[in-house]
Chains A and B, each alone.
Chain A
Amino acid sequence: MLQPPKKKKKKKKKRGHLFCNEIIIIKYSKMSSTNEPVKYLTADDHIPCKRCQAEDSVLVSRKEPFCKKCFLRFIRGKQRRQMNHEKFKVKYNKTAEQPERILLAFSGGLSSLVLLDIMVSLLKEQKEMHRDRQGFELLIVAIDESNLKAFQNNISDIITSLAAYMDFQINYKILDINNFFADSHLLKTITIDEDYSAWCSSIQHDKTYTYQDIVNMCPDKSSTEDVLSIIFSKLLLTTAEAESCQTIIYANSMTRLANEVLAMIVRGRGAEVHQKVSDSVQKYNGKEIEVIFPLRDVLFAEVEAYAQLTGLESYMLQEVNPKSGKIVRNMTVRDLTTGYFKNLDATGYASTASTVVKTAEKLGETRSKQDRLCSFCGTDLQKDPEEWLRNITVSQPAPLVTEEDHNNYAEYLSSSLSHHKGAAHDQRLPLGVCYGCMVTLRGGGSQANSIVWPVAESNSSDQKVLDEYIISDE
């Protein structure tokens, strides 16, 4: 009558015998031991690799000892599982319409080096097994950041020396970040007012804008960071479309994705989490581009181990003055969340990263979604973010009582401080901006702020018809 439930539950039942407080005690004892996600072994340990049983292990990961070869294979397997779709495999019939093209977003960081190595090893294997055929073409795209920060080495040198090291022909493309602002007729000024309303006005003069100009308009470092990530993903999407790549792969590790989820929530972008963190299909100019994170099951500590074992570390892009901040005031939202996950790793809560990513994968679309997109970052607009903010941040003054107050107010009105408020606003149009961008554009303060940004003309089909057929409005 009382059959044991499913196999899975059996395990749980076992734990159920413990009293609640016992479970808690177990959790804490686990925490106090410093169980780092990857533990390196020395030559004296002589623990045989659990997989091949032949060689000595070099490290312990996920409670299993690995030799070098088996560990690399294990990590490569993680990528294969994420990308086991038929379209990435070798096709023998030559009638296949278009070869599958994959764009690899390459930053020069450890994760992207590792992902590149894994992809190249996959291609090499395909060629070997299938008489020089390969299932897809790989295009490496890097964004040149050398005019943002000083680096010891340069990204195109890294790619060429990697190609020599891997003995493989690598196609690559390096983008200039200022390309984003190249289309000068799209550039508009976006203003977020003190009452959170967003406005768009055209720029009179024909100045060309560079990334540095935009950075100067950002209210703080966290905003700059957010703006930069919007630019990067937009540039990569544009490039994927231009280079007819159907897939973009990002090298973000599980730890990095978890970090991204947390950072997005802190920035007020909770509604986007489900789009940005799970593998998804994004539409761009009517084309569908798939975005995949092949390393989503790999912890950053494992990425580091992979890079160390293969010697890829030495190719990493090195900043001249890497951030060595301990001062919270100088940090950005992402610095803080990164530091948080690092601390968790050290205190033994390493599984948190996987919990966060798994939770984020379970999220879906909100019910308050509108059919419009944010003019700044391009995600779905939610209902009335500005109304939400106005309700919880009142900015009505208490009435002035004494004569002295009124005198002060009169003084204020005649002073220069009140003048900027009366500036002409007739040339500007209302704009739909999402909550996250509103926060980014204004920073944490109460002041209005403006930024120059390429704003696509309203892309509704009606507008296109009007634009095409109306010669003159009069």
Chain B
Amino acid sequence: MVEKQKKIKPGALCELCHGRKAVMKRPKNLQKLCKECFYNVFETEIHNTIVGHELFKKGDRVAIGASGGKDSTVLAAVLKTLNERYNYGVELVLLSIDEGIKGYRDDSLATVKRNQKQYEMPLEIVSYKELYDWSMDEIVSCAGIRSSCTYCGVLRRQALDRGAAKLGIDHVVTGHNADDVAETVLMNILRGDTARLESSCSILTQSSGSPIKRSKPFKYTYQKEIVLYAHYKKLDYFSTECSYAPEAFRGTARELLKSLESIRPSCIMDIIYSGEHLVLGQKKKVTQQRKKPNKIKNDMEQEVRSDGSIKIKQNETKDGNRCEKCGYITSNRICKACLLLGGLEANRAKLDIEGNTAVDGAAKLTRTLEKLAF
């Protein structure tokens, strides 16, 4: 730990403690820091976020959404450290989702299992297959690779909630970092998603209908710093990206964010700050007046969707509405997951070839090819 060099020039010292040699540039503001000061600022910032937003209460049981990737591995490590250092008094549990992507998720789950032993936390794995009777590989072979993220995202959200409910836990923390949040702010603006615009930056999402809340302790933590932290602390994580195509449009936003960060490192924080201050204005009066006469008439009408479900009118939508099929919280009669699965079920092959491996996705193929030797 201690540098062996005798004399360090004052210019090469850490810019915070001025006592140790600087070994890294901090991605957030390009400060030259020593390892100890980096650990200190990194952990303290997360601690500030947790305390400032009162994320935890003493005696809480908290599930960490663990994928085995760098974000969730660092999250587990940091939360364990902080919990001991600042005495939060929370019990931490690892919760993993097995989407059923051969060659990708099975490897990363192995990482989670190693982490479980290292951090001495209980681990619960919930799989798509047992929950929905569909694995991601099957979904992709049925619906195509283009829409993979749509399915996976919707299903994972529900799976995490169900996993937490199974464990009797009402709080899931996820490893979403500042880059993810900034990207979401940009995406919401680019897609004109006014419904999510205001809440996209909230660190804690909670609705009165759902017993499970989620939070992002890494909201202000740069992805690059998470990588550095994992590197210096020699954490064991799985660093392969999901083999299915990322959403094309999101990709363009991500690329923009990367170039922006390279010319101005603070821009991720700046975008989050902007995002926290985006507020929808009052609707203009003119349009409201024009709509009024129609509205009275509309109260008598009911929209029937193509799938036979009936749309619940805006004023009736309230937190706590339940899906008719599965009982999951939804703003419509049938939740998004059931809707998507219904569509899949209709297209499912009636016959199955025994021992068919064609459904195993690209990742499996890559793994097999990697192991080939001449």
Contacts and interface: CB of A to CB of B under 8 A. Distances in A.
Contacts of A333: 260, 263-264, 267
Interface string A1-28: 0110110010001001111110011001
Interface in B38-70: 39-41, 44-45, 48-49, 52
Interface stretch (A134-142, A173-181, A210-218, A324-332): A324-332
Given A21-B143, A21-B144, A340-B252, A270 B17 contact: no
A412 B256 contact: no
Interface on chain A toward B: helix, strand, loop, or mixed SS?
helix
Interface stretch (B8-16, B120-128, B156-164, B230-238): B8-16
Interface residues of B, number: 82
A46 interface: no
B82 interface: no
A411 interface: yes
Contacts of A406: 19
A313 B284 CA distance: 39
Interface string B262-275: 11111101110111
Interface in B268-316: 269-271, 273-282, 294, 298, 300-306
Contacts of A356: 189-190, 192
A363 B273 contact: no
A329 B263 contact: yes
B260 A349 contact: no
A363 B277 CA distance: 10
B324 interface: no
B40 A265 contact: no
Contact of A271 (B28, B265, B274, B346): B274
Nearest to A219: B264
Nearest to A352: B190
A395 B26 CA distance: 11
A439 interface: yes
Nearest to A400: B19
Contacts of A352: 190
A446 B31 contact: yes
Contacts of A392: 45, 48-49, 220, 269
A320 interface: no
A284 interface: no
Contacts of A364: 279-282
Interface string A247-270: 000000000000001101111111
Interface in A345-364: 347, 349, 352, 355-356, 358-360, 362-364
B279 A388 contact: no
Nearest to A18: B306
A400 B190 CA distance: 47
A19 B343 contact: yes
Interface residues of A, number: 90
B146 A359 contact: no
A233 interface: no
Interface in A412-462: 412-413, 415, 417-418, 435-436, 439, 443-446
- Identify which of B30, B39, B249, B266 gathers the most chain A CB atoms within 10 Å of its CB: B266
Given A28-B146, A265-B274, A417-B10, A398 B39 contact: yes
B343 A274 contact: no
A397 B29 contact: no
B270 A266 contact: yes
B109 interface: no
B279 A366 contact: yes
Nearest to B16: A397
A265 B260 CA distance: 12
A392 B305 CA distance: 46
A21 to B, nearest CB: 5
B11 to A, nearest CB: 7
Contacts of A19: 343, 346
Given A355-B190, A417-B10, A394 B44 contact: yes
Contact of B150 (A20, A220, A366, A435): A20
Nearest to A340: B256
B186 interface: yes
Contact of B259 (A221, A336, A368, A409): A336
A48 interface: no
B194 interface: yes
B191 interface: yes
Interface string B1-36: 011000110110111111110000010111100101
Given A266-B267, A382-B277, A331 B185 contact: no
A37 interface: no
Contacts of B279: 363-367
B278 A402 contact: no
B278 A363 contact: yes
Contacts of A349: 249, 252
A343 interface: yes
A404 interface: yes
B189 A262 contact: yes
- Identify which of A6, A363, A408 gathers the most chain B CB atoms within 10 Å of its CB: A408
A49 B282 CA distance: 41
B44 A409 contact: no
A393 interface: yes
Contacts of B41: 393-396
Interface of B: 2-3, 7-8, 10-11, 13-20, 26, 28-31, 34, 36-37, 39-41, 44-45, 48-49, 52, 143-144, 146-147, 150, 185-186, 189-192, 194, 197, 220, 248-249, 252, 256, 259-260, 262-267, 269-271, 273-282, 294, 298, 300-306, 339-340, 343, 346
Closest 4 pairs (CB-CB, A-B): A364-B281, A270-B274, A268-B270, A397-B17
Given A3-B301, A20-B339, A443-B266, 18 more contacts: A5-B301, A5-B303, A262-B186, A264-B274, A265-B271, A271-B277, A343-B252, A363-B279, A365-B279, A385-B273, A388-B273, A391-B52, A394-B48, A398-B16, A402-B2, A411-B7, A415-B10, A444-B265
24 contacts: A16-B305, A18-B306, A21-B143, A21-B343, A25-B144, A265-B185, A266-B270, A270-B274, A331-B263, A336-B263, A340-B252, A359-B192, A365-B281, A388-B273, A392-B48, A392-B49, A392-B269, A393-B269, A398-B34, A400-B17, A400-B19, A402-B2, A406-B19, A417-B11
